[in-house]
């Protein structure tokens, strides 16, 4: 094969490669938009999503109300127990009563937090299920449950 023939073959391969690359790049946006259309062009029942969001928000509010009531009850019990403990004249018994009052408070507070987190998680799970199965939509990432690794209360 001569030098000109080799150059011609390389040149032909480059042209074919260029055209194949161009076709792939031209079809990529079409394929990408077709794939997106499968997700977004579904028949979404907007009133269904409105009801689902309303139910979710009402559930979160109810869980938070229950949490507040549980904490208020625990605070009242702590107050009663501490006031009674400080009325005990025996130092050893008073110390035991104070420790018990604080331990009971910590247990009640922890239980209230645990219950709130469980209720919140269930409300969000129900919302996701409703959105997916009943409303027929894949939720955007903004409509997701926040991670709660810090121990704070995420609603």
Asked if pLDDT for residue 101 goes beyond 70, the answer is yes
Average pLDDT in the 64-85 region?
97
The better pLDDT of the pair 153, 117 is held by 117
State the pTM of this model: 0.64
pLDDT of residue 143: 78
Domain residue spans of the chain: 1-41, 44-143
pLDDT of residue 5: 58
Mean pLDDT (the chain, rounded): 81
Alpha-carbon distance 138 to 119, whole Å? 23
pLDDT of residue 4: 59
Alpha-carbon distance 114 to 74, whole Å? 14
């Amino acid at each position: 094969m001569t030098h000109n023939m080799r150059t011609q073959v390389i040149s032909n391969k480059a042209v074919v490669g260029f055209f194949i690359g161009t076709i792939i790049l031209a079809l990529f946006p079409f394929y990408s938009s077709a794939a997106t259309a499968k997700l977004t062009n579904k028949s979404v029942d907007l009133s269904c999503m409105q009801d689902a969001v309303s139910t979710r928000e009402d559930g979160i509010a109810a869980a938070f109300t229950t949490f507040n009531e549980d904490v208020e009850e625990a605070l009242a019990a702590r107050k009663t127990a501490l006031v009674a403990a400080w009325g005990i004249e025996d130092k050893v018994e008073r110390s035991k009563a104070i420790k018990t009052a604080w331990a009971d408070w910590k247990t009640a507070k922890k239980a209230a937090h645990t219950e709130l987190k469980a209720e919140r998680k269930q409300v969000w799970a129900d919302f996701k299920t409703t959105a997916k199965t009943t409303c027929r939509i894949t939720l955007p990432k903004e409509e997701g449950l926040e991670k709660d690794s810090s121990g704070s209360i995420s609603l």
